[in-house]
Amino acid sequence: MKDSFLPHLLLFLAAFLLHLPPQISSSTPSPLPKEALPTKSGYLTINSTSGSAIFYTFYEAQKPTTPLSETPLLIWLQGGPGCSSMLGNFYELGPWRVSSNVSVEPNPGPWNRIFGLLFIDNPIGVGFSIAASPEEIPRNQHDVAKHLFIAIKKFLMLDDSFKTRPVYVTGESYAGKYVPGFGYYALKQNAKLPVSERLNLQGVAIGNGLTDPITQVATHALNAYYSGFVNDKQKKVLEDLQKEAVELTQNRNWSEATNARSRVLDELQQMTGLATLYDFRRLIPYQDELVAEFLANVEVRKALGAKESIVFEVCSDAVGELLHADVMKSVRYMVDYLVKNTKVLLYQGHCDLRDGVVSTEAWVKKLKWEKIGEFLEATRKVWKVDGKLAGYVQKLGSLSHVVVLGAGHLVPTDQAVNSQAMIEDWVLEKGLFADQQINKLHANVSGSL
């Protein structure tokens, strides 16, 4: 009797267990695993009276090759205007990326492999940063830079080893204005400070940047025409729209000039039928909504030290509107100053139709730098990573220009490993970024032996 009853009992128990509701195990993985937590994160106060503060996340170098006090520190600023650097963190170059199922997975090419990496939600009012009132949100690059300088100086005071580290400020898109704006401001402030209090700024890097809008807006028609996206008649329509944007900018009618630029891009979008001008290869736009969905999780916010009451937006319309009149204002003169006083990297994804290669080359030609003629005559070299074609590098002295193949507007998203190789070699002055004068000297010495 026992022998015949046991099989029936086992079948009953199996059926019962199959229909039980799923139990949440105490070992259920966190949406942000322990190993993915930043080294430091939180807030850097800008105004102690009002409480306005900048949010940051910092990731120490995974495999530093120098003592931490000498390990370069990269600072990332997102564009927009009004977009959060958490996009760069969790979708582009941070050590962990949000995947399509809204969980994180290791990035194959993080920028903190051998460098420290600091993400800043800039300006206040963006991402998890706090603006006590709309009046405190910057409307121009000087005020943006002033807030950043305060925040970065406070960050460097968090650890004694930070104070001496070489600093490189990087960013993309509208950060094509933030990055030179901050670099210019920092170097000017350094001149007023004792050596011990200066920011150890060693370089700036701009990816797919909007830097000299009046020049860049005038390039879309020809770029689209010679890329095969529009015909001659459509090119003429775009040229007329571009002319309007240029004239409004020349007349310093800033808000209307910004609107005119938007009409150029909207018309180009309509003519081409592309999913996005940020990358003409894509059948769907970049999925930045994944970052917003991920950061809506209360546990993630707690782990990052972000205020849970803030409604996170990847890009703030409110901040974007306040900087609307700033969009068409050029900061090329700041790059003129930077290229004479520190090193500058400009890089673009080859497939970006908004702030891509052609638009950058147009304004670089106008730089007021004694070596610009030599730079324009410098050889554009084939760039390879792990033996495979990655793009092209043009370098002379303090200025480097990189075209990244197989990438659109968000270069690190599209080419993680290659973008990592680019930033590491540029900072360390290796490979194609080595000083050519030194290379020539070594070659001459070798030849004379």
Domain count along the chain: 1
Amino acid at 438: I
pLDDT at res. 435:
79
In this prediction, residue 447 has a pLDDT band, given cuts at 50, 70 and 90, of very low
What residues act catalytically? 173, 352, 409
Regarding predicted confidence, which is higher, 362 or 161? 362
pLDDT (tens digit per residue) in 146-177: 999 999 999 999 998 898 999 999 999 999 99
pLDDT at res. 30:
67
Q: Give which of 153, 42, 166 is closest to 116, Cα–Cα.
A: 166
In this prediction, residue 31 has a pLDDT band, given cuts at 50, 70 and 90, of confident
Q: Give which of 71, 188, 90, 74 is closest to 141, Cα–Cα.
A: 188
- The answer as to whether 345 is a domain residue is yes
- Determine how many CB atoms are found less than 10 A away from the CB of residue 190: 17
pLDDT at res. 9:
40
- The answer as to whether 43 is a domain residue is yes
pLDDT at res. 385:
97
Contact residues for 423 (Cβ-Cβ < 8 A; gap 6+): 74, 111, 115, 170, 205, 345
Q: Determine the average pLDDT of the residues in 247-255.
A: 98
- The answer as to whether 232 is a domain residue is no
CA–CA separation, 136 vs 440, rounded Å?
Answer: 52
CB 378 within 8 A of CB 395: yes
pLDDT (tens digit per residue) in 298-338: 999 999 999 988 989 999 999 999 999 999 999 999 999 99
pLDDT of 16 above 50: no
Q: Which domain holds residue 373?
A: 34-214+287-442
State both tokens at 16. 């019962």
Please state, in angstroms and as integers, the Cα–Cα distance from residue 169 to each residue in 174, 309, 316, 418, following that order.
14, 30, 22, 19
CB 98 within 8 A of CB 275: no
Q: Determine the average pLDDT of the residues in 61-67.
A: 96
- The answer as to whether 9 is a domain residue is no
Cβ-count burial 23-52 (b if 16+ within 10 Å, e if not): eeeeeeeebbeeebbbebbbbbebbeeeeb
Q: Model's pTM, two decimal places?
A: 0.89
- The answer as to whether 154 is a domain residue is yes
CA–CA separation, 88 vs 122, rounded Å?
Answer: 12
Please state, in angstroms and as integers, the Cα–Cα distance from residue 240 to each residue in 72, 229, 272, 292, following that order.
46, 17, 17, 38
pLDDT at res. 436:
63
Instruction: Give the CATH number of the domain where residue 69 resides.
Output: 3.40.50.1820
- The answer as to whether 403 is a domain residue is yes
CB 280 within 8 A of CB 274: yes
- The answer as to whether 260 is a domain residue is no
pLDDT (tens digit per residue) in 415-439: 999 999 999 999 999 999 997 654 4
- The answer as to whether 246 is a domain residue is no
